């Protein structure tokens, strides 16, 4: 009894009690709905699972099939290329927009809200709009025709489809990243840039030597988020290209969807999911390390 009272007093005194009250509900939900299914997915990768509940142990068979399947390697290649194009593009645009929005000009709050609109627009709706923009007789080709460049095969060329999808992804994502970077920018004490200005640093030097290093935590967060988002690209491909032309936009998550929900091979789909998880984890840890080393 005394021990219980002591523990209670300790929790009260150092504030741990109230902290736990706030943390535990989320932790429980996170474990049940995130960690649990993730571990279940991992186990499914080693099994043959039927939706009626029949599960049999498959060992490494699903992974062996996966690594000898040209479709998997194509999907991985597509996902990596998409990530390489989409992530830097999104981060650069977000950073530029955050810089613009950090200025105190009239109506800046309205601009910020407008830039955020694509983020809260449904991805499917955005995809349908962009499908129209990219269509053969659509506004994008009308513009290129008007300036004498001719029609661009936005979604019908193997080489153009991933850059086109990346461009659309920038439009849907930059508003969110911009807000994070904007918060980071506004948190940088003005004294730093003012001191650099007095020392005669140019605008570019102030940006690269003062702003960027100070923005590193926010940038790290944005890059990690974008890499994860890009590795999980699905919706826009599902609506806009169906993985085509050919298999030029057939991403890893699209493969998982196809194998699971279209072909009923949940074990195989889960194995692909495990590989995707492993890749994302390794890339995230590597990024974390790079950003940390730079910070020293």
Partner 1 sequence: MRIRTAATLLAAGVVTLTAACGAVNVGGSGSTVGAVPANPAKVSGTVTMWIYPIDPTREQADWAPRVAAFERKYPHVKVNVVVQPWANRDEQLQTAIAGGKAPDVVYMIPDQIPGYASNGSLADVSSLVASDKSDFRPDALKALSYGGKLYGVPLLTQVTTLLANKKAMKAAGISRAPKTWGDLLADAPKLKRAGYYATEYDADPTQTLNETFYPLLWQAGGQVLTPDGTKAAFDSAAGVAALTFLTKLVNGGYVPRDSLTTPPQPDTDPIEQGKVGFVMAGDVAALIPTKAMPLSGWAVYPPLSAGSAGSAGPGAKPVSYGTVGGLSILSGSKDKTAAAAWVNWVTSTGQMKSYDKSHHYFPARSSAGTLFPRSTLEGKEERLLPDMTIGSIGLKSRQLMGVISPHIQAALLGQATPRQALSAAASAADNLLSRG
**43 binds partner 1 per the rule CB under 8 A:** yes
105-144 as b/e: b if 16+ CB within 10 A: eeeeeeebeebeebbeeebeebbeebbebbeeeeebbeee
- The residue from 67, 73, 132, 142 that contacts partner 1 (CB under 8 A) is 132
**258 binds partner 1 per the rule CB under 8 A:** yes
**121 binds partner 1 per the rule CB under 8 A:** no
**Closer residue to partner 1, CB minimum distance, 46 or 207:** 46
**Closer residue to partner 1, CB minimum distance, 125 or 202:** 125
> In Å, what is the CA distance from 61 to each residue of 56, 65, 139, 268, 292?
12, 6, 49, 9, 38
**142 binds partner 1 per the rule CB under 8 A:** no
**214 binds partner 1 per the rule CB under 8 A:** no
Which x/- pattern, by CB under 8 A, does the window 48-87 give for partner 1? -xxxxxxx---------x----------------------
Give least dist CB 227 to partner 1, A: 24
Give least dist CB 126 to partner 1, A: 13
**Closer residue to partner 1, CB minimum distance, 92 or 124:** 124
Which structure tokens are listed for 31?
Answer: 């474990």
Give least dist CB 215 to partner 1, A: 33
**235 binds partner 1 per the rule CB under 8 A:** no
- The residue from 99, 121, 156, 232 that contacts partner 1 (CB under 8 A) is 156
**Closer residue to partner 1, CB minimum distance, 52 or 104:** 52
- The residue from 118, 175, 243, 273 that contacts partner 1 (CB under 8 A) is 243
**Closer residue to partner 1, CB minimum distance, 129 or 188:** 129
Give least dist CB 206 to partner 1, A: 44
**284 binds partner 1 per the rule CB under 8 A:** no
Q: Determine how many CB atoms are found less than 10 A away from the CB of residue 172.
A: 21
Please report, as ranges, the residues that interact with partner 1 according to CB under 8 A: 31-32, 35-40, 42-44, 49-55, 65, 128, 131-132, 134-136, 155-158, 238-247, 250, 258, 261-264
């Amino acid at each position: 009894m005394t021990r219980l009272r002591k523990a209670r007093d300790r929790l009260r005194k150092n504030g741990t009690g109230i902290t736990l009250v706030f943390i535990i509900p989320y932790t429980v939900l996170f474990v049940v709905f995130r960690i649990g299914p993730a571990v279940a997915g991992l186990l499914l990768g080693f099994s043959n699972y039927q939706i009626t509940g029949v599960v049999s142990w498959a060992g490494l068979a699903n992974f062996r099939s996966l690594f000898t399947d040209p479709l998997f390697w194509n999907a991985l290649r597509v996902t990596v290329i998409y990530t390489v194009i989409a992530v830097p593009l999104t981060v650069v645009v977000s950073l530029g927009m955050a810089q613009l929005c950090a200025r105190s000009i009239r109506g800046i709050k309205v601009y910020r809200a407008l830039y955020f609109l694509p983020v809260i627009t449904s991805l499917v709706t955005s995809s349908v709009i962009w499908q129209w923009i990219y269509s053969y007789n659509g506004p994008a080709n009308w513009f290129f025709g008007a300036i004498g460049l001719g029609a661009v095969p936005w979604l019908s060329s193997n080489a153009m489809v991933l850059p086109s999808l990346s461009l659309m992804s920038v439009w849907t994502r930059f508003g969110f990243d911009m807000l994070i970077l904007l918060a980071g920018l506004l948190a940088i004490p003005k004294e730093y840039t003012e001191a650099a200005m007095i020392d005669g640093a140019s605008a570019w030097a102030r940006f690269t030597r003062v702003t960027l290093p100070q923005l590193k935590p926010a940038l790290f967060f944005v890059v990690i988020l974008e890499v994860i988002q890009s590795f999980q690209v699905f919706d826009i491909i599902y609506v806009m290209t169906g993985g085509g032309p050919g298999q030029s936009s057939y991403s890893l998550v699209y493969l998982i969807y196809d194998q699971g929900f279209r072909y009923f091979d949940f074990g195989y789909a889960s194995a692909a999911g495990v590989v995707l998880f492993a890749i994302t984890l390794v890339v995230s840890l590597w990024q974390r390390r790079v950003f940390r080393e730079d910070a020293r």
